[in-house]
Amino acid sequence: MTEHEKIFAGKMFNARGAELKAVKHKAHNLCVEYNMLTEDNPRRAEIIHEMLGAHGESVNFQGPVQFNYGMHTKVGSNFFANYNFIVQDDGGVTIGDNFMAGPNVTLSTPLHPLSGKQRAGMVNEKGETFVPCYAKPITIGNDVWLCAGVVVCAGVTIGDGAVIGAGSVVTHDIPAGVLAYGVPCRVIREITDADKPYYFKDRKFDEEAWAKINEK
């Protein structure tokens, strides 16, 4: 069984071995190149296509961005991630359409032992010393907004239309259509039609903007 196969079979894998290093180094180098380009450089779109496992139309990373593998991430259409978007996609990350991420958002799929002695290193059948690693996928639905500083942990699913408030640490699944925030993140309330006239708390859209929104 290859190290890639071990990841998606839920088995312990060697993230530092030659097999996975080659994939990660390619992604890391593409991220460095992407981050050094100006926002209007067409090469950015080419890098997104080369790096990600799959993507829809209109995908934009403000940059800087960092992926562990890139090829383990699939995103939908109308995707936007703000500054410092970090994706540790060892176990796979799937994101739907109309996604927004504020600055400093992290999606982290790897898992390591609590025991310091175990984390110090193990020896595999090839005689290689490595840090034991597992990974669980992250799944994010359509129309999701992760506000600034959100951290999504391994194994989490976030439902369609959810909004995760700034600074939250998401350690468990979040259902569709809710506002959730906190450390750890918890559901605060449902998002309903009564929220539509407002762009922030009790602040309403001006009449011209509201008319344009209702045209859609």
Class of the domain covering 3-215: mainly beta
pLDDT value, residue 164: 98
With a pLDDT cut of 70, the percent of the chain lying above it is 99
With a pLDDT cut of 90, the percent of the chain lying above it is 75
Q: Which residues are catalytic?
A: 112
pLDDT value, residue 166: 98
pTM for this entry? 0.93
pLDDT value, residue 215: 67
Structure tokens that stand for 123 in this block: 């020896």
pLDDT band at 216 (very low <50, low <70, confident <90, very high): low
pLDDT value, residue 78: 97
Ramachandran region, residue 88 (left: φ > 0; alpha: ψ -120 to 50; beta: rest): beta
pLDDT value, residue 65: 98
| Cα radius of gyration (the chain) | 19
Q: Where are the alpha helices (DSSP H) in the chain?
A: 3-8, 18-36, 43-51, 116-119, 207-215
pLDDT band at 16 (very low <50, low <70, confident <90, very high): confident
pLDDT band at 39 (very low <50, low <70, confident <90, very high): very high
Q: Is the pLDDT of residue 210 over 90?
A: no
**Spatial contact of 182 and 200, defined as CB atoms under 8 Å apart:** no
Average pLDDT across the chain, whole number = 93
Structure tokens that stand for 90 in this block: 């060892």
In the block, which residue shows the tokens 């996975």? 20
> For the residues 33-49, what does the mean pLDDT come to?
97
Q: Is the pLDDT of residue 98 over 80?
A: yes
pLDDT value, residue 186: 98
pLDDT band at 206 (very low <50, low <70, confident <90, very high): confident
CA distance 208 to 196: 15
**Spatial contact of 96 and 141, defined as CB atoms under 8 Å apart:** yes
